[in-house]
Structure 1
Amino acid sequence: MHRRSFLATLPAAALLPRIALAAPVAYTPGTIDRHLDAGETILVDFFAPWCPTCIAQHRVMDKLKAENPAYEEKITFIVVDWDTYGRSELSAALRIPRRSTLVAIGPDRREIGRVVAATSYDEIKALLDAALTVASA
């Protein structure tokens, strides 16, 4: 392989782990109820594409999902667009204080835990581990 060809493929190769991850479900009204009614454990992610904290949280979650595929196999990730639903009934019902809030909910509709504006690997891992425990029960 020629050096230039090899170097040209590096950016594409960097995307491979990201491509392998399943896409989260985009929230629309009724999405959460449908998944909970189906007996799923969910992680609701209040996200804004312009939010640096949200982006940092996604990087950590992508890393965790790559390290442990069971997260994506057992937990349904639902992304709620903060710009559209930040002041919605959903946000009020879940008492969401701001974007960059992650809330894990079990199939019994009880909150498992939440992370607000944190980007720590350990904090997000603890939330995903708690959700995985409920999902695997």
Structure 2
Amino acid sequence: MHRRTFLLSSVAACVPSLAFAYPSQDFSPAVWRDLRETDRVVILNYRASWSLTCQIKADLIAEAIAENPAYGELTFVDVNWDTFGQSQLTERLKVERRSTLLVMKNGKEVARLVNEPYARQVRALLDTALAA
């Protein structure tokens, strides 16, 4: 294999997958203020654009929604770790790292998944969210 071909294929393997997407909105204090007062189940996805684990989780969520449309009825909010990782909300919720999924209802935590980029765990969390 030529060195140039090897380098290009290595870089391509490191680029996050863009094949899947799920319906979400970006976090802002106003969005959270509006959502926490409702009976809707909200999944806060603490993620960073540069994190491979976060991208894998996003792809797993999208795959799960494609297979079970009921998951698409949940409200997903992406919380940018680089912007809100040190925020009061993050401290109050005791989120210590990116790649954290929180299931919230009426402003209270129902379930949490931290740094587990595995389909079985993500689907279990989504099932818990549907049952909340």
* TM tier, smaller: 0.7 to 0.9
Structure 2 stretches lacking a partner, 5+ long: 1-17
Q: Distance in 2 between matches of 1:120 and 1:18?
A: 16
2:32, 2:91 → 1: CA distance?
14
Whole-angstrom distance in 2 between the partners of 1:18 and 1:55? 10
Which residue of the partner structure matches residue 118 of structure 2? Answer: 120
Q: Larger % of helix: which?
A: 1
Shift of 1:101: 0.3
The residue identity in structure 1 corresponding to 2:97 is: R
* Structure 2: distance between partners of 1:124 and 1:39: 22
Q: Tell me, which stretches of 5 or more residues in structure 1 are unaligned? A: 1-14
Who is 1:38 aligned against? 38
- CA distance in 2 between counterparts of 1:91 and 1:112 reads 16
Alignment RMSD, CA only? 1.6
Runs of 4+ in 1 over 6 A off after TM superposition: none
Q: TM-score, normalised by structure 2?
A: 0.81
Percent of pairs identical after alignment? 32
Q: How does 1:1-137 map to 2 (within 5 A)?
A: 18=20, 21=22, 23-73=23-73, 75-107=74-106, 109-134=107-132
CA deviations over 1:17-62 (Å, ceiling 9, x no partner): 847x4x3010011322311212211000001000010001011101
Letter in 1 for 2:102: V
Match of 1:8 in 2: none
